[in-house]
Amino acid sequence: MQLSVVIPLLNEEKSIPELYSWITKVMQANNFTYEIIFIDDGSTDDSWEIIEELSETDSRIKAIRFIQNYGKSQALHAGFKKTEGDVVITMDADLQDNPEEIPALYSLIIEEGYDLISGWKKKRYDHVLTKNIPSKIFNAAARKTSGLHLHDFNCGLKAYKKEVVKNIEVYGEMHRYIPVLAKNAGFRKIGEKVVQHQARKYGATKFGAERFINGFLDLITIWFLSRFGKRPMHLFGAWGVLMFILGFFIALGVGSSKLYKLWKNIPDILVTQSPWFYIALTIMMMGTMFFLTGFLGELILRNQQNEKRYYINKTLNLN
C-alpha cells in the first residue's frame, strides 16, 4: 500500500463527507493505493455515525473511536499504530488542510528520500492577534531550542516515511513537536514544503489561547528529554555534586577561620551566628537533593512500564 491518511477529529460532522470526497478524488486521479484512518477523539456530535456510513461503501475507510476526548497526540499515536502505507500523511479534519498537496508530499518522501516533510502554511487565514503572531513566536522558540529550521512546527499536514511513525512515541501534547521527536529518534532528513491554508468552513476551532502556554511548557519538556531524558543523573547529579562541593568549601572556610581565631585568641562570633554557615548548609542540602533527584530518575527509567493513555470504544475495518 502506498499511502495511509491519518485524520484525528473532534466534532467535525459537517466536514467529514466533503473531506472524504476530496481525498478520494485526489487518490483516484493519481492511482494511489491507500487507506483513510479516522480517529474520533470523543466526538459528541454525529461524526462517528457519518464515518460508519461512509465505511459501508468504502472498505478503505478505517476508524478508531475513543471512549472520551484524550487529545490529538493520543489520536495520532493510535492511528500510527494501525498504518500500513509506505508513506503516512496526517491532516486535520476541518478542511483547512488541502488534500491536493498529497501527491507532492508523497513524491518528496519516495523520490527524494525524506524521512519527514512538514507543511508550512506561509499564508494563513487565522486571526492575526490570537493565532498568527503567537504562532510566529512559538515557532521561533521551537527552532532555537530544537535546532530544526522549520517555519511551522504545528502544521497538521505532514508526510512521514512509514519507519518514522512506527519508531516515535507521540504522547501528552507532543504532536506539535513530531519533527523534533523524529530527529531525536535518529531520522535526520527532515524538510518542509509550503502548503495551501484554507479558512475554516464549518464550526469553530477546538484550541484556545492556552495551547500556546501548553506549547511552550511542552517545548521545555522536550528540550530536557532530548538531552537528559535517558540520563537524568548527568544533569541533576552533576549539579548536585558541584553544589555540595561549593557548600563544603564554604563551610570549611567558616570552620577554618573559627579555629584560626581560637588559636590566636582573637574574639569572634559563634559559627552558628555567621550567615555563611547557613548559606553553606543550604547549598549542601540542595546539592544532596539534586543528586538524589538524578538517582531516583535513573531508578524510575529502569523500572518504568508503559501506561495506558487512552481507551478505544470501537473500531472499523481494523484488526
- pLDDT tens digits for range 49-74: 999 999 999 999 999 999 999 989 99
In this model, does residue 297 exceed pLDDT 80? no
pLDDT at residue 130, as a whole number: 52
In this model, does residue 229 exceed pLDDT 70? no
SS3 state at 277: helix
| Rounded CA separation 217/230 (Å) | 19
SS3 state at 138: helix
Window from 217-221, 231-235, 294-298 with minimum mean pLDDT = 217-221
pLDDT-above-70 percentage for the chain: 87
Q: Which residues contact 235 (CB under 8 A, 6 or more apart)?
A: 224, 227, 228, 294
In this model, does residue 268 exceed pLDDT 80? yes
Residue 199 DSSP code: -
pLDDT at residue 108, as a whole number: 97
Window from 55-69, 125-139, 190-204, 283-297 with minimum mean pLDDT = 125-139
In this model, does residue 128 exceed pLDDT 60? no
In DSSP terms, which residues pair with 316 in a beta bridge?
63
Window from 16-30, 34-48, 170-184 with minimum mean pLDDT = 170-184
pLDDT tens by residue, 115-126:
999 999 887 665
Task: Name the amino acid, one letter, at 170.
Answer: V
Q: Of 79, 104, 105, 106, give the one whose Cα is nearest residue 93.
A: 79
| Rounded CA separation 85/2 (Å) | 5
User: In the predicted model, what is the mean pLDDT of the chain?
Assistant: 87
What's the first-to-final CA gap in the chain, in angstroms?
Answer: 16
pLDDT tens by residue, 172-197:
778 888 998 899 888 999 999 999 87
In this model, does residue 206 exceed pLDDT 60? no
SS3 content of the chain, % helix, strand, coil (to 5): 50, 15, 35
Question: In this structure, are residues 39 and 90 in contact, taking their beta carbons and an 8 Å threshold?
Answer: no
At residue 13, what are phi and psi to the nearest 5 degrees?
-60, -35
Cα atoms in the Cβ-side hemisphere of radius 13 Å centred on 105:
34
pLDDT at residue 109, as a whole number: 97
pLDDT at residue 311, as a whole number: 81
In DSSP terms, which residues pair with 314 in a beta bridge?
65
Higher-pLDDT residue of 286 and 196 is: 286
pLDDT at residue 209, as a whole number: 55
Higher-pLDDT residue of 189 and 220 is: 189
Q: Of 230, 70, 81, 224, give the one whose Cα is nearest residue 162.
A: 81
Model confidence band, residue 261 (pLDDT cutoffs 50, 70, 90) = confident
Q: Of 29, 38, 169, give the one whose Cα is nearest residue 106.
A: 29
**pTM greater than 0.85 (yes/no):** no
In this model, does residue 262 exceed pLDDT 90? no
Torsion (CA) 202, 203, 208, 209 in degrees, nearest 10: 50
| Rounded CA separation 242/45 (Å) | 57
Torsion (CA) 24, 25, 30, 32 in degrees, nearest 10: 10
CA angle 91, 18, 317 (to 5 degrees): 65
pLDDT at residue 176, as a whole number: 84
Window from 143-152, 158-167, 221-230, 248-257 with minimum mean pLDDT = 221-230
Would you give the distance in Å from CA 289 to the centre of its chain?
Answer: 29
In this model, does residue 216 exceed pLDDT 90? no
